[in-house]
Amino acid sequence: MKTAHLYVRVSTDEQAEKGYSQRDQEERLKRYCEANNIIIKNVLFEDFSAKTFIRPEWIKLIDGLKKRTSRTDLVLFTKWDRFSRNACDAYQMINVLRKLNVEPQAIEQPLDLAIPENKMMLAIYLAAPEVENDRRALNTFNGMRRAKKEGRLMGRAPYGYINKISEDGKKYIVRKEPEASNIIWAFEEMAKGIFSASQIMFMMNKRDGKSLKISAFLEGLRNVAYCGKIFVGDYNDEKAYHVKSIHEALINEELY
C-alpha cells in the first residue's frame, strides 16, 4: 500500500474572502485515501500564503522527507493552488520531490505527470492562481492610485489624524486631538530654529505621553499630507505630482 502526507493549506486572507476551510480539505483528503487504500502518515496544516515555499510546515515536511526515516510515496492536497500559486517555484519543488521519489498530487485535479501532454494542464492549474494574484495586486494598486488622485490619503493615518470609512466604503482621514495640536506645535517650533528636532520630539512626547521615535518624527515632518497635499508617484508615462487633499490641512504650505 502507498503512504502519504496530507497537506492542508489556507491563508488567513483566503479564509476571509473565499471561505476556505482546513477541516473541509482534511475530510476530502482522508476520504480519498480511504477509497484508494492509502496509508496516511501525517496531516500538515499550513496557515500561510502559497506565493513561495518559504512556509514553516512545508519546510518541516521537506526536511523530514530528505532524512528518509521511512518511506513516503505521496504528498496529497486538494487542488494545485493549495500546493503553490507560483508556477516557476512549483516546477522546481516538483523536481525536488521527484528526486526524493515522492509524487505530489492534487486529488481534485489529478494528473499523471509521466504523460507529457499532462504538463500543459499542470501549467494551466499552476498559472491560473498566479494570474489571479497578479490581477488582484494590479487592481489594488490601480484602486489606491485612483484614490490618491481624488485626494484621499491611503494607508495608516499619520500622527494627528485618524482613519475613517464613509458609508459607501471609501477610506479617509480626519483630525484627531490632542495629537493634531501637538504636531502643529512641533512644526511651529521647528520653524523657530531654537531647538533641535530630537529636543522638539522629546518635548512633544511629554505633552501627550507618547513615545514617538526620532525616525518617525522626522518622517512626519516631511509628510506633505499635513499641508493638505497628496503625493501621486510616477507610473508608466505619467510623472509624479501632488494633488489637493480632501482632508483638513493642519498647517499651511509656508510653515511646511
Q: pLDDT digits over 146-160, tens only?
A: 989 989 898 889 988
171 alpha carbon, distance to own chain's centre: 19
Phi, psi of 167 (to 5 degrees): -60, -30
Residue 228 · residue 245 · CB < 8 Å: yes
Distance CA 112, CA 145 (A): 44
Would you state the pLDDT for residue 40? 96
In DSSP terms, which residues pair with 39 in a beta bridge?
3
Would you state the pLDDT for residue 16? 44
Question: What residues have CB less than 8 Å from 248, skipping those under 6 apart?
Answer: 174, 175, 228
Would you state the pLDDT for residue 15? 57
The CATH 3.40.50.1390 portion of the chain extends over 3-134
C-alpha count within 13 angstroms, C-beta hemisphere, residue 211: 0
Residue 8 · residue 44 · CB < 8 Å: yes
Matching CATH number, 3-134, of 3.30.70.120, 3.40.50.10190, 3.40.50.300, 3.40.50.1390: 3.40.50.1390
Residue 178 · residue 208 · CB < 8 Å: yes
C-alpha count within 13 angstroms, C-beta hemisphere, residue 142: 7
Whole-model pTM: value is 0.58
In the chain, which residues have pLDDT < 70? Answer: 12-20
Distance CA 126, CA 161 (A): 43
Count other C-beta atoms under 10 Å from residue 146's C-beta: 12
Write out pLDDT tens, residues 220-236. 889 999 999 999 989 98
Phi, psi of 36 (to 5 degrees): -110, 15
What Cα–Cα distance (Å) separates residue 143 from each residue in 130, 138, 157, 171, 224? Answer: 20, 8, 18, 12, 21
Residue 102 · residue 62 · CB < 8 Å: no
Would you state the pLDDT for residue 12? 63
Distance CA 202, CA 185 (A): 13
Would you state the pLDDT for residue 62? 94
Would you state the pLDDT for residue 171? 85
